[in-house]
A and B are shown apart, each in its own frame.
Chain A
Amino acid sequence: MAKTFKKTAALSDQHTHYCPGCTHGVIHRLVAEVIDELDVRGRAVGIAPVGCAVLAYNYFTFDFQEAAHGRAPAVATGIKRVRPDLIVFTYQGDGDLASIGMGEIIHSANRGEKFTSIFVNNTVYGMTGGQMAPTTLSDQRTTTSPSGRDVADVGMPIKVAELISALETPAYIARQSAIKPKYIVRAKKAIKKAFQYQLENRCFSLVEIVSTCPTNWGMTPIEAVKWTEESMHAYYPLGEIKTPE
């Protein structure tokens, strides 16, 4: 019988270390499929963040660099400036990109660096045990906001995709979600578009992906999906926020 579906070449055979119900694995697969569909594995360079995805390179089969916490966009800038022929992407969490690395992502986007950022928003610092992130929702409990995020004290959660879209420099910026097949299909389309803009040397591209962290949210995977759809989708609207046209 002919094989109708197989694992894409850009994805390795390793089992991931991610928790049950975490969407990092799904997002890895989407990125890998896009890399193969565009046939750029031989000139792809990924940049791993510091966060749960620090070991992301174990799950891909092409060149990778591991950045310091928040610095992936600067690393990507360095690569892309000296080797514009490479296809470069950063893969970053919300602590990495929206807190410690906010300066690097904003300036890379504003310079119109021709790389792609995959921004995984799970509202917490997953790797260090579920502390509050810049994207933690109002009243959401985390290990450093035990009574819920007090927005009067620490401000409102940052809408990264909208924030970066406010820059005048042309870019492709979208937000999608990874919790259900109908969203995942759209997320893949957005990721593919982002890489295509890079291939055409058009603009900076960023896809924010609303994700889960059942372990640190203290929920079952099913509860986490429900909460994401109800609470996160309400605050973080999905869709294309900016296109370079």
Chain B
Amino acid sequence: MGKVLMKGNEAIGEAAIKAGCFNYFAYPITPQSEVAEYLSRRMPEVGGVFLQGESEVAVGYMLFGAAGCGARVFTTSSSPGISLMSEALSYISSAQLPAVFVNIVRGGPGLGGILPSQADYFQATKGGGHGDYRLLVLAPDGVQEAVEMVMMAFPLAEKYRNPVMILGDGLIGQMMEPVEFPDHLISEPSNKDDWATSGMDTRNRKDRNLVKSLFLNAELLEEHNRFLKAKYDRMKQEEIRYESYNTDGDYKVLIVSYGIISRVCRTAIDMFKTEGLEVGMIRPQTLFPFPENAIKEAVSKSGCKAAISIELSMGQMVEDVERSVQGVCPVHWYGKAGGDVPTPEEIMGVVKPLSK
């Protein structure tokens, strides 16, 4: 299949269908409502399920039920909606169900705004809901990567029996870019007969399946949490993804940036080059697990004087960057959270003094 020009939100909807996900539940919210509008047309065409739920709370549990009986299922929302789905994310994680959640992040807190933001970084990577659970968080930098990540998300969710979150932003959802849909699907061997409540008649084994999250016995809950932790540790071993830019040679400053703003940082790095200043960048593509070692290695290179986390928030990822750098060099932060994306010149203005 060749390239087509598509709006991010519509491309995300199409990517799910291409990934073999024919079940979608959602509640409208700007700036992602086009996904629901698109899929309300497309799902019936492919014999799939489209349902507009009565709230994000309900939608979260529709995913719980659908995933619990073994179906591939996903939803899309934006920040305030994801807050309401956070209860379900905690239950889905504990019940170990595969499901995909896309957050087209908008400005916060509260109603905030409808412009692009990355202020849900903590919510996505550190919880949001209650208890010791983690989401596998993928962060695309444009429409093409959003498509690829949506298609990756389903097999990942199934591999780990864990929800996967795509953390995009309002710009990725709203902009049009040429995209190419990958035509070979990665898939995991299904283990659904072991756990899904798909009806006893549909399985070869005669025992019933139970989807639950209650462990009243302290020992059993301890064991359950240790099991989950082992799974999150395995993600750290096997799923870290990042991209390095201009890090082959020496550089004075390392930028850590993800999503849409990393593209602006890339332009700033190219412009610095023409001035004779070398700046490198690590762009995490997974926010959990976080590329800690790659960042530590990158700042350990001789000549690197500082690291800076550049993000569309008031300083969230910077805490993970500090944790990764482990004091090797000073860690700075620059960001905006009102909905404006900084220009390359603005970024050059904050990065330049750090090279001295």
Contact surface of A with B, Cβ cutoff 8 Å: 41-45, 47-48, 54-55, 57, 61-68, 71, 73-83, 85-86, 103-104, 107
Other-chain residue from B51, B71, B91, B211 in contact with A64 (beta carbon distance below 8 A)? B211
A67 touches B64 (CB 8 A): yes
A103 touches B55 (CB 8 A): yes
| Closest A residue to B22 using CB positions | A82
B65 touches A42 (CB 8 A): no
Tell me the chain B residues, 184-205 only, with Cβ under 8 Å from chain A.
197-202
B49 CB-CB contact with A under 8 Å:
yes
| Closest A residue to B92 using CB positions | A68
B210 touches A57 (CB 8 A): yes
Other-chain residue from B49, B199, B214 in contact with A81 (beta carbon distance below 8 A)? B49
B202 touches A64 (CB 8 A): no
B36 CB-CB contact with A under 8 Å:
no
B212 partner residues in chain A, CB cutoff 8 A: 48, 57, 64-66
| Closest A residue to B206 using CB positions | A42
A63 touches B197 (CB 8 A): yes
B88 CB-CB contact with A under 8 Å:
yes
| Closest B residue to A115 using CB positions | B65
CA–CA, A75 and B64, complex, Å: 6
A75 touches B62 (CB 8 A): yes
**A interface: dominant SS:** helix
| Closest B residue to A45 using CB positions | B197
CA–CA, A121 and B95, complex, Å: 28
* Minimal beta-carbon separation of A156 from chain B (angstroms): 25
Other-chain residue from B49, B61, B91 in contact with A104 (beta carbon distance below 8 A)? B61
Other-chain residue from A66, A75, A104 in contact with B214 (beta carbon distance below 8 A)? A66
Contact surface of B with A, Cβ cutoff 8 Å: 23, 25, 49, 51, 53-55, 57-69, 71, 73, 87-88, 91, 95, 197-202, 208-214
B64 touches A65 (CB 8 A): yes
B58 partner residues in chain A, CB cutoff 8 A: 71, 73-74, 77, 103-104, 107
Besides A61-B208, A63-B198, A68-B61, 13 other A-B contacts (C-beta < 8 A): A43-B202, A63-B199, A65-B68, A74-B64, A75-B62, A77-B58, A77-B62, A78-B25, A78-B64, A81-B66, A86-B198, A103-B58, A107-B58
Contacts A74-B65, A78-B65 known; A66 to B211 CB distance under 8 Å?
yes
Contacts A68-B88, A78-B62 known; A83 to B71 CB distance under 8 Å?
yes
A77 touches B200 (CB 8 A): no
A78 partner residues in chain B, CB cutoff 8 A: 25, 61-69, 73
B213 touches A74 (CB 8 A): no
* Minimal beta-carbon separation of B98 from chain A (angstroms): 13
* Minimal beta-carbon separation of A231 from chain B (angstroms): 33
CA–CA, A193 and B63, complex, Å: 29
Give the top 9 A-B pairs by smallest Cβ distance, nearest first.
Answer: A78-B65, A42-B201, A74-B61, A78-B62, A63-B197, A75-B65, A66-B212, A78-B66, A107-B54
| Closest B residue to A104 using CB positions | B58
B200 touches A83 (CB 8 A): no
A42 touches B200 (CB 8 A): yes
A64 partner residues in chain B, CB cutoff 8 A: 197, 208, 210-212
B51 partner residues in chain A, CB cutoff 8 A: 77, 81
A81 partner residues in chain B, CB cutoff 8 A: 23, 25, 49, 51, 62, 66
* Minimal beta-carbon separation of A164 from chain B (angstroms): 14
Query: Which among A55, A71, A79 has the highest number of chain B CB atoms within 10 Å?
Result: A79
CA–CA, A43 and B197, complex, Å: 9
* Minimal beta-carbon separation of B171 from chain A (angstroms): 31
| Closest B residue to A58 using CB positions | B210
* Minimal beta-carbon separation of A35 from chain B (angstroms): 12
Contacts A63-B198, A65-B212 known; A79 to B88 CB distance under 8 Å?
no
B214 partner residues in chain A, CB cutoff 8 A: 54-55, 66
Contacts A65-B212, A66-B214 known; A41 to B200 CB distance under 8 Å?
yes
CA–CA, A48 and B91, complex, Å: 14
Query: Which among A41, A54, A83 has the highest number of chain B CB atoms within 10 Å?
Result: A83
Other-chain residue from B53, B59, B200 in contact with A62 (beta carbon distance below 8 A)? B200
| Closest B residue to A72 using CB positions | B61
CA–CA, A54 and B200, complex, Å: 21
Contacts A63-B209, A103-B54 known; A74 to B62 CB distance under 8 Å?
yes
B210 touches A63 (CB 8 A): yes
B61 partner residues in chain A, CB cutoff 8 A: 67-68, 71, 74-75, 78, 104
A-B residue pairs in contact (CB < 8 Å), sample of 13: A42-B201, A55-B214, A63-B200, A63-B209, A64-B212, A65-B64, A65-B65, A65-B68, A71-B88, A74-B61, A77-B51, A79-B65, A82-B73
